[in-house]
Every structure is written in C-alpha cells, then in structure tokens.
C-alpha cells in the first residue's frame, strides 16, 4: 500500500483523543512510506493529519471542491492540491489516488464519503480495502446499526465482513496493507461512478 485515503472531520471534535490519533496515524504513515490522500482542508482532523504527515517529511495530496476552498480553508502547503468542481469529483479523484481508505471520526461528510466508497466496492466499481479507525469507540454505535442492518437482511454479511474496524493504528495499517496487497485489481471504473 503506497497511499491511503483518509476521510475525517473538518472539526477537531470534543475528545482530545481524536487529534492525537490523527497525529499518530500520520506519523505511522510516514514511517511506512504511505502517502496521505485527503479532503485538502487545513482545519479540524483533516488539518491535523496533514500537518503530521508533512512534519514527518511525508507526501500529502489534497482534493477539495472550489466551493469549500474558502469555507474549509484549503491547505496551501501540501505536496499536491487538486481543486475540483464537485464533491462527486472529489471522491472519484481520491479513489483514483488511494490504494485503500480509512474513516476517522467525522460527521455527515465523512459518513457520506466512506459509505460511497463501501458502495463502490460492493458494486465492483473499485476494489480497495475500507477501514474505520475507531478512536475512543467513536464508531461503536455506527457498527451496532450496521450489524442490525445485516440482521434485518439489508446488508449482506460478506459486505460487513469486508470492512476493517480497528482502534490500534498500527494494527489498522497492517490490516489495510495486507488487504491492499491481496487485491489483485484496484479497478476504478469511472464510467460507472
């Protein structure tokens, strides 16, 4: 795995553990030679992980819609910053640049982004591992809902089992790297997106 798409909040969150986790994940990514692909903002957890990667000498690739450049304060010190027109283009370009994806704590935008990537995998539009960095149990209730959806017959067990949920960032990266290396085809079928 050479690059990791990270979806996370444009806010820092109420628990100090979230920013500390972003910093730790960023440092681990740099140590393993993994580039960051993210939403391109300099605020919140997005800014925290980008600063961690950049401070360690790593590569940070941001993708941000023009409408959010001023609103989220685009990070102008990145290795690469791609400004696109729509959120849809943002996700598609991130899918093209990342070998795998992880969701850190975040809100509706984070949920939208990671769930779309999960859906693209389910529909075989892409074949890239997906994980949730479950910092301080942030995603516990989310996965209670997902497991309820499985029990009620709306999500197939195989699709739930494909999602990595991990609180330890080192184990998280090990699992993602193993899954990314096991994926024989990281197809991005843009005509189906």
Residue 192 located in a structural domain: no
Domain membership of residue 37 (yes or no) is: yes
Residue 148 lies in a domain: yes
Number of domains in the chain: 1
Q: Confirm whether 189 is domain-assigned.
A: no
188 found inside a domain? no
> What pLDDT, in 10s, does the model give residues 120-141?
999 999 999 999 999 999 999 9
Q: Is residue 71 part of a domain?
A: yes
pLDDT tens, 155-192?
999 999 999 999 999 999 999 999 998 875 555 665 65
Within a domain: 139: yes
Domain with residue 111: its CATH number is: 3.40.50.450
Residue 190 within any structural domain of the chain: no
3-state secondary structure labels for all residues of the chain: CCEEEEECCCCCCCCHHHHHHHHHHHHHHHHCCCEEEECCECCHHHHHHHHHHHHCCCCEEEEEEHHHHCCCCECCCCCEEEEECCHHHHHHHHHHHCCEEEECCCCHHHHHHHHHHHHHHHCCCECCCEEEECHHHCCHHHHHHHHHHHHCCCCCHHHHHCEEEECCHHHHHHHHHHHHHHCCCCCECHHHC
Highest mean pLDDT among 18-32, 56-70, 72-86: 18-32
Domain extent, residue 82, equals 3-182
């Amino acid at each position: 795995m050479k690059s990791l798409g990270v979806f996370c909040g444009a806010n820092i969150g109420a628990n100090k553990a979230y920013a500390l986790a972003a910093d730790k994940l960023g440092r681990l990514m740099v140590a393993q030679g993994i580039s960051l692909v993210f939403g391109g903002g300099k605020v919140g957890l997005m800014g925290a992980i980008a600063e961690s990667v950049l401070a360690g000498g790593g590569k940070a690739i941001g993708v941000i819609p023009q409408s959010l450049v001023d609103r989220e304060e685009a990070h102008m010190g990145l290795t690469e910053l791609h400004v696109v027109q729509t959120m849809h283009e943002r996700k598609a370009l991130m899918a093209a640049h990342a070998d795998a994806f992880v969701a850190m704590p975040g809100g509706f935008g984070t949920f939208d982004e990671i769930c779309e990537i999960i859906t693209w995998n389910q529909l075989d539009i892409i074949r890239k591992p997906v994980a949730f960095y479950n910092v301080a149990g942030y995603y516990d209730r989310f996965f209670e809902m997902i497991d309820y959806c499985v029990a009620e017959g709306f999500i197939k067990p195989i699709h739930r089992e494909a999602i990595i949920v991990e609180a330890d960032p080192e184990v998280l990266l090990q699992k993602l790297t193993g899954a990314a290396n096991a994926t024989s085809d990281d197809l991005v079928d843009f005509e189906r997106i």
